[in-house]
Structure 1
Amino acid sequence: MTNESIHVGPAQKKKLIFLVALILTIAVMNGTMFNVAIPDIQSYFGIPSSQVSWVLTSYIMVYAIGALMYGKLADFYSIKALLTFGIILFAAGATLGLFSQSFAMLLVARVLQAAGGATIPALGFVIPARFFPEDKGRVFGLISSTVAFASGVGPIVGGLLGGWLSWRYLFLFSILSLLALPFLRKWLPDEEKRSGFIDYLGAALFGAAIAGILLFVTTLQWIFLLMFIVFMAVFAVRTAKADDPFIRPSLLKNKYYTVTILTSFLGVCSMFGLLFIIPLMTRELYELSTTQIGLVIFPGAILAGFLGRTGGDLADRHGPKVVVIAALVFIAFGTMLLSGFAGVSAVAVSVVLIIAYIGFPLIQSSTANILSSVLEENETGVGIGMFNLMNFMAGAFSSAIFGAVLEIQGVTTSLNPFASGGNSAIYSNVYLALTLISLFALAMFTYTFRAFRVAPRSEKNPE
Structure 2
Amino acid sequence: MAVKALIPLLITFILGTLCLQGFNLVFTQVGKDVGAPAQASLITALPSIVLGIVCFIYGSLGDFVSLKKLVVVGITLLLAGSIFGFVANFFFTANIWTVIVARIIQTAGEQVAGSVYLVVATKYLKNSLKVVFFGIFTAGYQVSAAIGVFAAGFLTSIHWQYLFLIPVVTVIFLPLLLHNLPNKSGTGEKVDALGFAIFGLATAFLTLFFSYTAWWMLLVSLVLYVIFAVYIHKASNPFITPAFFHNKRWIMAISLILLFYLPNYSFSPVFNAIGSEIYHLGTQTVSLYIVWAFIVAAIFGTCSGWIVDKIGRKAGIICAALLQLAGLIIAAFCVMSGPVALACAGCLYYAGVGLLYSPVVDTALGTLSKDESGRGVGMNDLAMNVSGSVGIAIIGGLMSSKSMTGFSLAGFTGSAANYGNLFLVASIATIVGLVVYLICNKKIYADA
Q: Which of the five TM-score ranges fits, normalised by the shorter chain? A: over 0.9
Secondary structure of 1:270's partner? coil
In the other structure, the counterpart of 1:460 is none
SS of the residue 2:355 aligns to: helix
C-alpha contact (below 8 Å) 2:297/2:354 kept by paired residues? yes
2:252 is the alignment partner of 1:263? no
Unaligned runs of 5+ in 2: none
How far did residue 214 of structure 1 move?
0.9
- Report the 3-state secondary structure (helix = DSSP H, G, I; strand = E; otherwise coil) of the residue aligned with 2:346: helix
Counterpart pick for 2:30 among 41, 48, 59: 41
Counterpart check, 1:394 vs 2:387: yes
- Partner SS state of residue 114, structure 2: helix
Q: Distance in 2 between matches of 1:84 and 1:212?
A: 28
In structure 2, what is the equivalent of residue 235 of structure 1? 228
Moved over 6 A (4+): none
Give the number of aligned pairs: 442
The code of the aligned residue for 2:415 comes to: N
- Determine the structure 1 residue equivalent to 2:119: 126
Residue 13 of structure 2 aligns with an amino acid whose one-letter code is: L
SS at match of 2:239: coil
Deviation at 1:349, TM superposition (A): 0.9
Q: How many angstroms apart in 2 are the aligned matches of 1:362 and 1:410?
A: 33
SS at match of 1:111: helix
Instruction: State how far apart, in whole Å, the 2-side matches of 1:305 and 1:240 are.
Output: 42
Q: Which residue number in structure 1 is paired with residue 81 of structure 2?
A: 93
In 2: Cα distance, 1:227 partner to 1:221 partner? 10
Give the counterpart of 2:70 among 82, 85, 92. 82
CA-atom RMSD in angstroms: 2.1
CA positional deviation for 1:24:
2.2
TM-fit CA distance, 1:404 = 1.6
Contact 2:75 2:171 in 1 (8 A): yes
Which residue of structure 2 lines up, in the alignment, with residue 29 of structure 1? 18
Q: Does 1:438 align with 2:426?
A: no
Question: Using the alignment, how far apart are the partners of 2:120 and 2:330 within structure 1?
Answer: 37
Amino acid at match of 2:132: R
Find 2:53's aligned residue among 65, 76, 101: 65
Q: 1:450 to 1:233 in 2, by over 3 A?
A: same
1:287 partnered with 2:250: no
Q: 1:254 maps to which residue?
A: 247
CA contact (8 A) 1:74 1:123 kept: yes
Tell me the amino acid that sits aligned with residue 89 of structure 1: L
Give the drift of 1:340.
0.5
Aligned match for 1:363, one of 356, 360, 366? 356
Q: Could you say which residue in structure 2 is the equivalent of 1:54?
A: 42
Whole-Å Cα distance in 1 between the matches of residues 413 and 237 of structure 2? Answer: 56
1:142 is aligned to 2:131: no
Gap change, CA 1:178 and 1:426, over 3 Å in 2: farther
Aligned residue in 2 for 1:424: 416
Change (3 A) 1:191 1:316: farther
Q: Distance in 2 between matches of 1:231 and 1:192?
A: 29
Q: For residues 311-350 of structure 1, what are the structure 2 equivalents within 5 Å?
A: 311-350=304-343
Q: For residues 340 and 54 of structure 1, do their structure 2 counterparts lie closer, same or farther at Cα, with a shift above 3 Å needed?
A: same
How big is each residue's C-alpha offset from its partner over 1:311-355, in whole Å with a ceiling of 9 and x where there is no partner? 212323443222122111111111000011013201111112111
Indicate how the Cα distance of structure 1 residues 126 and 410 shifts in structure 2: closer, same or farther if over 3 A, else same. closer
2:336 counterpart SS class: coil
Relative distance call for 1:429 and 1:283 in structure 2 (3 A) is same
Q: Does 1:222 align with 2:215?
A: yes
C-alpha displacement at 1:410, in angstroms? 6.5
With normalisation by structure 1, the TM-score equals 0.89
CA distance in 2, matches of 1:336, 1:402: 15
- The answer to whether the Cα contact below 8 Å between 2:233 and 2:241 also exists between their aligned partners in 1 is no
- Match of residue 146 from structure 2: 152
Query: Normalising by structure 2, what TM-score?
Result: 0.92
Report percent identity of matched pairs.
Answer: 25
Which letter maps to 1:77? V
CA positional deviation for 1:47: 2.4
Q: Is the 8 A contact 1:90 1:117 kept in 2?
A: yes
- Aligned 8 A contact 1:78 1:191 in 2: yes
For structure 1, list consecutive stretches of 5 or more residues without a partner in the other structure. 1-7, 457-463
Shift of residue 424 of structure 1? 1.5
User: Could you tell me whether the CA contact under 8 Å between 1:27 and 1:120 is conserved in 2?
Assistant: no
What is the alpha-carbon distance in structure 2 between the residues aligned to residue 413 and residue 152 of structure 1?
35
User: Structure 1 residues 342, 455: closer, same or farther in 2, change over 3 A?
Assistant: farther
C-alpha distance in 1 between matches for 2:305 and 2:340: 30
CA contact 2:6–2:117 (8 Å) conserved in 1: no
* Alpha-carbon shift at residue 454 of structure 1 (Å): 8.1
Amino acid at match of 1:435: S
Cα 1:110–1:140 change in 2 (3 A) is: same
Shift of 1:414: 4.2
Shift of 1:48: 4.6
> Residues 150 and 313 of structure 1: is their aligned pair in 2 closer, same or farther, counting only changes over 3 Å?
same
Alpha-carbon displacement from aligned partner over 1:125-179 (angstroms, at most 9, x marks no partner): 111112212310111111112222322332333x234222122222122223323
Specify the code of the residue in structure 2 equivalent to 1:40. Answer: Q
Q: Distance in 2 between matches of 1:84 and 1:414?
A: 56
Cα distance between partner residues in 2 of 1:123 and 1:195: 17
- 2:78 is matched by which residue type in structure 1? F
Rounded Cα–Cα distance in structure 2 between residues aligned with 1:184 and 1:257: 31
Report deviation, 1:69.
Answer: 0.7
